[in-house]
Amino acid sequence: MVFVDVDTQADFMLPGGRLYVPGAEKLIPTLARLRDFAELHRVPILSSADAHAADDLEFQIWPPHCVRMTPGQLKLPETLVRQFMVVPRERLAPLTDIDLLRYQQWILEKAVLNLFQNPQADDLVKRLDAAQYVVYGVATEYCVKLAVKGLLERKRSVTLLVDAIREIEPEAGQAVLRELEAGGAKLASTEEILRAAVAA
């Protein structure tokens, strides 16, 4: 099993963030529970993180957010394990075997919605080669949706944690859940997935 933690950064997750997802801060206890479980059971975590330049073209569509070296770009501490590695989107060299052994969490930086923009994402998914990818984070109808679809396109088994995601528009979020479930993703609660993992 691999956890896929999508964009759990201050600008999205906290009130006052530059592109705050309403209610996202209510997920923090669940995110901390997932992090604690991962540390206890050595579950790898594949994280995505927006990392924008101050003049990024995306800001023609969205308000400026998650600009590199600003507080809003930081991942919440409740989502970080002790051994994590930040993987810039500019990195072209594949991660080494030592990188995979030394770290438990890889934070893939990106400048667009899709985490697979980072050239290391595809290789990392292949090398982790887990039986199940468990996805959570924000926002449901944007980056979470694309992460799930990207994994499904790569023939991975995907479970989406419905109590560990948050949408910007409730109706759009529900439509995305129906779309992803129809496309092959499983929907589950955090309690269900952690209980099943312990029992396995």
Backbone angles phi, psi at 116, to 5 degrees: -75, 0
Categorize the per-residue pLDDT at 121 as very low, low, confident or very high, splitting at 50, 70 and 90: very high
pLDDT score for 166:
98
- Listed in sequence order, the residues at least 6 apart from 195 whose beta carbon sits closer than 8 Å to its beta carbon are none
- pLDDT mean over 104-119: 93
- pLDDT mean over 123-146: 95
Domain ranges of the chain: 2-199
pLDDT score for 170:
92
Task: Give the residues across from 47 on adjacent strands.
Answer: 5, 107
Express each pLDDT in 145-200 by its tens digit: 999 999 999 999 999 999 999 999 999 999 999 999 999 999 999 999 999 998 87
Q: What is the pTM of this model?
A: 0.95
For residues 11 and 151, give the distance between their C-alpha atoms in angstroms, rounded to a whole number: 25
Domain 2-199: state its class: alpha beta
Express each pLDDT in 10-24 by its tens digit: 999 999 999 999 999
Express each pLDDT in 69-96 by its tens digit: 999 999 999 999 999 999 998 877 888 8
